[in-house]
Structure 1
Amino acid sequence: MAALLNLPEKPVDPSCGTTIERHIASIHPQHCIGCTLCIKACPVDAIVGSSKRRHAVLAELCTGCELCIPPCPVDCIDMVFMPEFSAWDQTQAHAARTRMQTREIRLERQKEEQAERLEAKAIHKLDELDDTPSPDAAAKKAVVQAALARARARRQAQTP
């Protein structure tokens, strides 16, 4: 900003906080148990891997937010300074924001698909109960119908 206003550049006021170098998450592969908690916590999908397999951080995508550290049960994630990734530019910030928004959309879609699968399964169970007359069938059917109604109401309430 100082360059745009043709003013001398001043250091950041310490009362407003300090600037720190960008650090990147690093997973120690020999300690990683493959629990996937860090993958779920990463807001920009910078950690790759699968269940019960070692995970790795894509350094060029990591924002250094440290959100992956608290959920790790074996404390195998450290933040390390990597000079080649220290400077952020507007393009990288925009790309990180886009990855985060894409992740949020994907997670919401997966949540909706799971709800639809569960509803289809419940409807299938209802159909099976209709086919098998028994004294408990009516009670079971009422329980399943009540659960379906609650799930639909919850979904309706969440839809803006």
Structure 2
Amino acid sequence: MSEAIVNKVQQNTKLVTLDLQKFHDDTPIEELDIKQFLFQELLLKEKDFREQLKEFGWSQYEGKNLCVHCSTDAIIAPWAWMLLTSYASPFANEVFLGKKEAFLHQLYQRKLEDYDWGQYEDKFVLLKGCGKVHVPDSIYMLATNKLMKRAKKIMYGEACSNVPVWRSNAR
């Protein structure tokens, strides 16, 4: 016998697993709360602010993504964020205004916007759950929105134990 063995179940299935972890960026993300550069953690004094930024050890962010924010109710002028970026950018891969969670969402979103969703046309899609890397809930929502335009059915979890999420009535 020279016929190859073919797994017809696997070959003819419409179930496709999408692991959102594959969109994860391993670049470390650091946060910097700029309240430390403010007078009494509330007031931005330009001369003091500039001096502190100049003396700060920016090299600690070499090769990392940096999320900057202010945890106090201080009013920060746009030029201050711009100045901070000018000091951090020679070291950090990217400087982002906001918290780590918002930046993570944006990193995933960039990749998902460029992703070929057409491959899920009329498929049963399983969005893989549980993994080594935490995928933000907002990314599962974004993927669901993208898949609803193409897939027949969307599920969450593992093939052996999944949660049905959505089914197309029109397909």
Query: Which structure: greater helix fraction?
Result: 1
Query: Which structure: greater strand fraction?
Result: 2
Is the pair's TM-score, using the shorter chain for normalization, greater than 0.5?
no
Q: TM-score, normalised by structure 1?
A: 0.23
